[in-house]
Structure formats: C-alpha cells, structure tokens
Amino acid sequence: MRTTKTLSITLPPEMLSRAEKLARKENRTMSEFVRETLRLYVRERWWPEVNADGRERANALGIREEDVERLIDEARREKRGKRAAK
C-alpha cells in the first residue's frame, strides 16, 4: 500500500531554480528537498507554541526556571526506580 500522496505546487521560476540547485547540491530529489523544508518550517513554528504552553503550565504549577533541573533529576530517579522494581 502506498504511504505517500502526490502534491502539485506552483513556484515562481526563480524560486524553483534555487530549490533545484539546493536539492542537487545536497544530492536530494525535489520531493526529499520539499519534505525536509516543510519539516524545518513546521519545527520552527511548532517550538514557540510548545514553549509557550510549557511556560503557561509551569506558571500555573508555580514552577520556576531554577526548579527545572531538579525536577528533571527527580523524575529520572523515579523512572529508574520503577524500572529496577520490575
């Protein structure tokens, strides 16, 4: 079963030429190049949203920046303890 779908897009000639050159330079197909470009775009947009959500939750719980490392260490110790108990 096919796990991909075909997408047709239009680009200004200059943008297409630049994309093709970058794809060739990185030894990628245009499909690979466009997929990676979209991944980077999504990651760039996604991170600020996740960060803002994390800050909002931390504020609601009264967690300060200086608490983070300690809380991570505690969570890791707890996780190791649960694995060792199995």
Report the pLDDT value the prediction gives residue 56, as an integer from 0 to 100: 93
Measured between alpha carbons, how far is 81 from 46 in angstroms, rounded to an integer?
A: 33
- How far apart are alpha carbons 49 and 56 in whole angstroms? 11
Give the closest residue to 51 by CA, choosing from 65, 62, 39, 32: 65
Cβ-defined contacts of 37-42 (< 8 Å, 24+): none
Q: What is the pLDDT of residues 35-76, one digit of tens each?
A: 999 999 999 998 888 889 999 999 999 999 999 999 999 999
21 has a pLDDT exceeding 80:
yes
Q: Which residues are CB-contacts of 29 (< 8 A; sequence separation ≥ 6)? A: 23
User: Both tokens of residue 65?
Assistant: 């920046």
| pTM for this model (two decimals) | 0.56
Q: 22-39: per-residue pLDDT in tens?
A: 999 999 999 999 999 999
